Chains A and B, each alone.
Chain A
Amino acid sequence: MSKYLLKRIVYLVIVFFVVSLMMYAIYNLIPSDPAMIQMEPLRKTLKPDIWQQQYQELRQEMGLNDNLLVRYARWMGFIPDVNGKFSGMLEGDFGRSINYKRPVVDIIGTPMLNTIILNFLSTILTLAITIPLGIYCAVHARKASDSAIQAATVVGYSLPTYLIGILFIFIFAVVFRIFPTGGAKTPGSSYTGIMEFLDRLHYMALPILVLVFTGLAGMTRTVRAAMIDTLSQDYIRTARAKGLKEKVVIYSHAWRNALLPVSTSIMGWMIGVFTGGSLVIENTFALNGTGRLYWNALTTTDYELVLAMQMFYTLVSLVGVLLTDLSYTLVDPRVRIDK
C-alpha cells in the first residue's frame, strides 16, 4: 500500500510540474513586457540612448532576457532569481495581483473560505437527500414513483447549471421572493454573531439549492444503480431466504455495500463542483468565491492571479483523483492495488 501511495505521489508531483510548465508557457504567450510598463512613463524625460540602456538593465534585473525554462524554474522556486533569492511557488510566494496591488496569498483567503463553505454545505445536503432517494428508487425500481424520480433526474443532469440557476432565481427570488437574487450579505447591514451567520446563510441558500439540485440528479442515479446491483447479489437472496424482514435486508445488508462504489464517485463529483460548478454558480449569484475571483482575474487580465489560481485548481483535481483511487481500497478491501 505504502509503495503504491509513494508511487502515486511521485507521479502526482511530476504531473503537477508538467501541467504547471504548460500553464506557464501558455501564460507567456501573452505579449506583455513588465519592464516596458515600468519604463514607458520615463521615455519622455530621458534621452533615448540612456532610456534604452536603463530599459535593458531593468529587463536584465527582472530576468526577462532568460529563456522560458529558466524563468519557469525561478517562478516555481527551483533556482534563485536574479537577486540570488528564492522566491517562487515552492517558497509560498504566489506573485502579486496587478488589480488588487497585493500579494495573491492575501487575496485568496476569503473567497476560498466562501467556496469551501458553499461546497461543504451543498455536499452534505446533497448526500442527505440523495442516498435515501436513491435507495428508495432502487427498492421501488420500475414503479411509477421511481419512473417519476428518474425523469426528474434526467432533467436535472441534462440542464446546464446556469440555466437551473436562472430558473431558480425566477422561481424563488422573483415569483415567491423567498431569497435574494444575488450577493453575499444584505447591503449596508452590520450584523454580528448569529445574525451575521443567518444573513450569510440566507444569501447563500439559493446557490446551495441550485448546487444540490444539479448534484442530486447524477448522484441519485449512481446510488440507484449501485443499489439495484447490490440487491441482485446472492447474499441478498440468502438474507431473504433466511426470512429476514425486507427492512433489515435493505438497511443492514444491502445499503452499506451499495454505498462503497458511491463513496468514490462523490469525490469526483466534488472536484467537478469545486472547479467548474463554483465558477458558474458564483458568477450567476455574484458570490465572492474562488470561481468569481478567477473569472474576474481572467477578464481583467490579472495573469499572476490567474496563474496562481490555475495551479490551485490543478492541485485540487490531482489530489482529488489520487484520493478517489485510494478510496477504492479504503472502502472496499477486495480491491488490491499495491501490485
Chain B
Amino acid sequence: MSEKNNAAPKQPKKKEFFLFRWIKRAFFPNRELDIYAEEQLQSPVRLVIRNFFSKPLSVISLCLLILIALLVFIAPNFVILDLGEQDSTLMNISPGFSIMNYPRALEKNGIADISVGNNYAVGVDKAGHVYAWGKTRVSSVINLSDIPEEVLNAKIVKVSAGSDFILALDERGTVYGWGNNRLRQLVLPDEIDSNNRMHEFGIKEIHASDQFSAALTDDGRVFLWGNGNFVDLSFREEFSGHVKSLALTNSAYVILTDDGAVKCANDHASTTITKIPEGLESGVVSITASSNCVAALKEDGSIVVWGAYTKGEDKIPEFSSKVVEIEGGRYHFVARCEDGSIVGWGSNRYNQLDAPKAAVTQKIDRIFSGSFQNYALTESGKLVTWGLKGFLLGTDTLGRDIFARLVNGGKMTMTIGAIAVIIETIIGIILGGIAGYFGGVVDMVIMRIAEVVSSMPFIPFAMILSAVIGTRISVEQRMYLIMIILGILSWPGICRLVRAQMFAQREMEYVVAAKALGVKESKIIFGHIIPNVMSVCLVTVTLAFGTAMLTESTLSYLGFGVPLPTPTWGNMLSNAKNSIVIQNYWWNWLFVGAVFGIACICINLIGDGLRDALDPKANGR
C-alpha cells in the first residue's frame, strides 16, 4: 500500500470528468497529499467527504437527487396546481405538444374549411382533401386520422368536428361521418339517408357537437340526429324553410332565421341556452356557440352572450372597431374586428385569448376556434395558431396535467418523507441517547418500548391509524398525521444504533473529563456525545428517508395516505391500478414511476456510498 502511495504524486494524473473535478476543486482546494501529510492535515469529516466524492456512482446519484429535489421544490411555484380542476374533454391526452401541428400540405392548395374538435382538428383544402391532426386517437380502436376511403375519394367542401367524431360534406351534398358512433352521432335520419338520394336535399351546412349533429339544407330545413336522451332533438315545423344558420352547444342548439332573429326551435325551451334573451328578434348577423354558451353578433357590431357561463364568457370586452366575425371555443369566444384586431374573452387557462403578433399584423380572412385552439387564416393562405398545444407529460383520467401533478406530488412526497425522517431521528436520538448513557432500568424500559413498536406490523398499523384518526380531520392535518405516524412507528432503528454508539462513547476520556468538570448530564449526552455519533447515523437517516418516502407512497397507493385530489407520487400511481390505464394510457404511470424510482434508487446509492465512505477499512488502511 505505502509503495503505491509514495509513488502516486510522480505519476501523471488521469484527467477526470469535469463535474467531479469541479466538485473536488470546490470542496477540496488542496492538491492530493501523500499518506503521511494527509493524516496530519485532514479531519475525519473531510476524509469522509473525499471518499464519498471519489465514487462516480455516489456523485451521479447525489446530483440526480438534487436535480429531482430542485425540480419538485422550484417547479410548483411556476406550475400552480388547481386541485378542483378537471375537464372531461382533456381526459387521457398523450404527452407532447402536437395538438395544433397541422399538416403543411393543407396550406398548399388553399384552405377551404377548418373545424376544431376536442384536442384535434380537421381541415379541408380547396382541392377537397381532408386532413385531421392533433390527438386524433379516441380509443384503442378508433383513430380519427383514419379517414375513410370514400371521403378521400370525394371532393369535400365542408368539415365539422364533434367531440370524438367528424362529419364531412362533399360538393354533391353527401354527408360522411367517421369516429366514435356510440351515441349514434353518425347515424343520419332515415329520411335523408335512404335510397342514395342525399344529394337531392341540398345540404349546405353540417354541424357536429358533443353528442349530436345537425344538417341544414339550401331551402332552410334542419335535420338533427344523435343522442336524443341527452339533447332535445325536436324541431318545430314552423321554422322549417326559414333557417339561415345554426349554433350547437354541448347540450342544446339555437337557430338563426332568415329575418335575422335568434330562435329556439325546440318544442320546449327549457335550458339556459334555449331561453333567448330579449333584443335578438332582428338584426342578428351570425351566431356561434362555445360549450355552454351562445354568442350572437348583430348588424351594428354589438355582441350578446347567453347560456351557462362559468369562466367569464359573458364579460364582453370593448372592441376597437366593428366586429365582423365571432367564433366560440370550449370556454372562450374570439372576435375579429374590421381593423384586423383579434379580441378574445372567457377562460384564458391555456392562453386561448392571447393571439400572437402574426395574427394581428397580417390581414386575417377568417378565424376558426374550438376546444382550446384557435386558427387564423391569413389573406396569403397561411395559418396562425394559438391556444392549447398539448401537455408535456399528457393528462390523467380526469383531464389533469400530469406534469403539474408530478412536481406538486413530488413536493408533497419529499416533504412528508423528510419531516417523517426528522421526527424519527429526533425521537430515536433522544431515546437512544438516554438509554445508552444511563443504561440499567431506563435502558431496559426504553428498549422494551422500542421492541413493542418495531414488532408491530408497520403498514397494517399505519393504515388503521390513518383510517381511524384520518376521517375526522382536514387534508392538511391528515398530511401531518401521516408524517407523525411514519415518524412514531419507525424510530427504533435509529434508537438502537445511537444506543450502541452511546455504550462505546460514554467510556471515552472526553466524557469522563466532562463529568469531572461538572457538566450537566443532558449537556454531556446531547452536547458532547451525540455530535460524535451523528456521522454514523447519517447512513441510517439517508436510507430512512428513502424508506419513509416509500412507505408514504405505499400508504397513499393503498388509499390510506394523503387523500385525493391532493397529489402525491403514491396516489398518482394508484390511479394506474387498473389494467386499462396500464395498457392504453401508459403516461399516467410511467413518468411518475420513473421519477420516483430514480429518486429512490439515488437515495439508496447515496446511503451505500456514505456507508462505504464512513467505513474506516475502505481507505485500504
A: which residues have CB within 8 A of B? Answer: 15, 18-19, 23, 26-27, 29-30, 154-155, 157-163, 166-167, 169-170, 173-174, 181-182, 271, 275-276, 279-280, 283-284, 294-295, 298-299, 301, 306, 309-310, 313-314, 316-318, 321
* Chain B residue at minimal CB-CB distance from A322: B455
Within the complex, what minimum Cβ distance (angstroms) separates B485 from chain A? 12
> Would you mind naming 21 contact pairs between A and B with Cβ atoms under 8 Å apart?
A15-B455, A19-B455, A154-B601, A154-B604, A157-B604, A160-B596, A163-B597, A166-B576, A169-B579, A170-B583, A174-B579, A181-B579, A275-B457, A275-B459, A276-B457, A279-B459, A279-B463, A280-B557, A295-B559, A298-B560, A301-B467
Nearest Cβ in chain A — how far from B619, in angstroms? Answer: 17
Q: Across the interface, which residues of B come within 8 angstroms of A159, CB to CB? A: 597, 600-601
Q: How many A-B residue pairs lie within 8 Å, measured between CB atoms?
A: 120
Could you tell me which residues of chain B, from 590 to 611, have a CB within 8 Å of some CB in chain A? Answer: 593, 596-597, 600-601, 603-605, 608
Q: Once the chains bind, are B464 and A284 in contact (CB under 8 Å)?
A: no
Most chain-A Cβ atoms within 10 A of its Cβ — which of B455, B457, B600, B601?
Answer: B457
- Tally of contact residues, B, Cβ under 8 A: 42
Let me know if B51 is at the binding interface, CB within 8 A. Answer: no
A306 / chain B contacts, CB cutoff of 8 Å: 464
**B83 within 8 A of partner (CB):** no
Known contacts A15-B451, A158-B600; 4 additional CB pairs below 8 A are: A18-B452, A29-B468, A160-B570, A280-B459
Check A162 against B601 for contact (C-beta < 8 Å): no
Q: Is there an interface contact between A275 and B467, defined as CB atoms closer than 8 Å?
A: no
- With A29-B469, A306-B464 known as contacts, the answer to whether A169 contacts B597 (CB < 8 A) is no
Tell me, yes or no, whether B84 is within 8 Å of chain A by CB. Answer: no
Contacts of B458 in A (CB 8 A): 275-276
Q: Are B460 and A294 in contact (CB under 8 A)?
A: yes
Q: Does B456 contact A309, Cβ atoms closer than 8 Å?
A: no
> Is B550 located at the chain interface by the 8 A CB criterion?
yes
Q: Find B582's partner among A154, A160, A181 (CB 8 Å cutoff).
A: A181
Neighbouring A residues of B455 by C-beta, 8 Å: 15, 19, 314, 317-318, 321
A186 to chain B minimum Cβ distance, whole angstroms, is 15
B554 contacts A162, C-beta separation under 8 Å: yes
CB distance from B552 to the nearest CB of A (A): 10
Looking at the assembled complex, report how far the CB atom of B398 sits from the nearest CB atom of chain A, in whole angstroms: 19
Contact of B460 with A310 in the complex, beta carbons under 8 Å: yes
* CB-CB nearest in chain A for B467: A298
- Which residues from chain B contact A23 at a C-beta distance below 8 Å? 464
- Cβ of A295: which chain B residues have Cβ within 8 Å of it? 463, 558-559
Best-buried of A15, A182, A298, A316 by chain B (most CB within 10 Å): A298
Instruction: Tell which of B451, B464, B573, B604 touches A163, judged by Cβ atoms closer than 8 Å.
Output: B573
Q: Which of B452, B461, B583, B597 contacts A158 (CB 8 A)?
A: B597
Task: Kindly provide the distance from the CB of B526 to the nearest chain A CB, expressed in whole angstroms.
Answer: 29
Q: Within 8 Å CB of B570, what residues of A?
A: 160
- The closest CB in chain B to the CB of A286 belongs to B577
List, in ascending order, chain B residues with CB within 8 A of A299's CB. 467, 559
Which of B465, B546, B553, B589 is in CB contact (< 8 Å) with A26? Answer: B465
Query: Residues on B close to A: CB < 8 A?
Result: 451-452, 455-461, 463-465, 467-469, 546, 550, 553-554, 557-560, 570, 573-574, 576-577, 579, 582-583, 586, 589, 593, 596-597, 600-601, 603-605, 608
Bound complex: CA A106 to CA B170 (Å): 69
Contact A284 B577 (CB under 8 A): yes
Residue of B nearest to A301 (CB): B467
The answer for the CA separation of A160 and B597 in the assembled complex, in Å, is 8
A311 to chain B, nearest CB (A): 11
B605 vs chain A, min Cβ distance (A): 6
Task: Write the nearest CB–CB distance from B472 to chain A, whole angstroms.
Answer: 8
Query: Of B461, B558, B583, B608, which one neighbours A310 at CB under 8 angstroms?
Result: B461
| Cα-based distance from A284 to B554 in the complex (angstroms) | 11
Interface-centre pick from B451, B469, B579 (highest chain A CB count, 10 A) = B579
Chain B interface SS verdict (over half): helix
Check B601–A158 contact: CB distance below 8 A. yes
Whether the pair A316, B457 counts as a contact (CB closer than 8 A) is: yes
Within the complex, what minimum Cβ distance (angstroms) separates B412 from chain A? 16
Choose among B558, B573, B577, B582 the residue that contacts A279 (Cβ–Cβ < 8 A): B558
Residue of B nearest to A27 (CB): B468
CA–CA, A182 to B579, complex, Å?
8
How many angstroms from the CA of A298 to the CA of B555 in the assembled complex?
Answer: 13
Bound Cα distance A299, B593 (Å): 25
B443 CB to closest chain A CB (Å) equals: 16
Given A280-B554, A316-B457, A317-B455, are A163 and B579 neighbors across the interface (CB < 8 Å)?
Answer: no
Residues of A within 8 A of B573 (CB): 162-163, 166
Residues of A contacting B593 with CB < 8 Å? 163, 166-167
Please, which residues of chain A bring their CB within 8 A of the CB of B601?
Answer: 154-155, 158-159
Known: A155-B601, A158-B601, A298-B463. A166 touches B457 (CB 8 A): no
CA of A98 to CA of B574, assembled, Å? 27
The residue of chain B having its C-beta at the shortest distance from the C-beta of A321 within the complex is: B455
Taking a contact as CB atoms under 8 Å apart, the answer to whether A174 and B460 are in contact is no
Q: How far is the CA of A160 from the CA of B455 in the complex (A)?
A: 22
With CB as the reference atom, state the residue of chain B lying closest to A151: B57
> Roughly how many angstroms separate A306 CA and B8 CA in the complex, as a whole number?
65
Q: How far is the CA of A29 from the CA of B471 in the complex (A)?
A: 11
The answer to whether A174 and B583 have CB atoms under 8 Å apart is: yes
Q: Do A276 and B554 have beta carbons less than 8 Å apart?
A: yes
For B546, what are the chain A residues with a Cβ–Cβ distance below 8 Å? 158
Q: What is the bound-complex CA distance between A254 and B553, given in angstroms? A: 40
Point out the residue from B468, B560, B600 that lies within 8 Å of A30, measured CB to CB.
B468
Query: When A158-B601, A169-B582 are in contact, do A283 and B558 touch as well, CB less than 8 Å?
Result: yes
**CB-nearest residue of chain A relative to B469?**
A29
Chain A: CB-nearest residue to B603: A158
Assess the B558–A280 pair: CB atoms within 8 A.
yes
Shortest beta-carbon distance, B18 to chain A, in Å? 24
Identity of the chain B residue whose Cβ is nearest the Cβ of A277 in the assembled complex: B459
CB-CB < 8 A to A160: which residues of B? 550, 553-554, 557, 570, 596, 600
Shortest distance between the CB of A38 and any CB in chain B (Å)? 23
Cβ-closest 8 pairs across A and B: A181-B579, A275-B457, A276-B459, A313-B457, A158-B600, A158-B601, A158-B604, A174-B583
Shortest Cβ distance from B580 into A: residue: A181
- Residues of chain B within 8 A (CB-CB) of A154 are 601, 604-605, 608
Residues on B with C-beta less than 8 A from A18 are 452
Interface core residue of B464, B467, B576, B601 (most chain A CB under 10 Å): B464
User: What CA separation (Å) do A15 and B589 show in the bound complex?
Assistant: 41
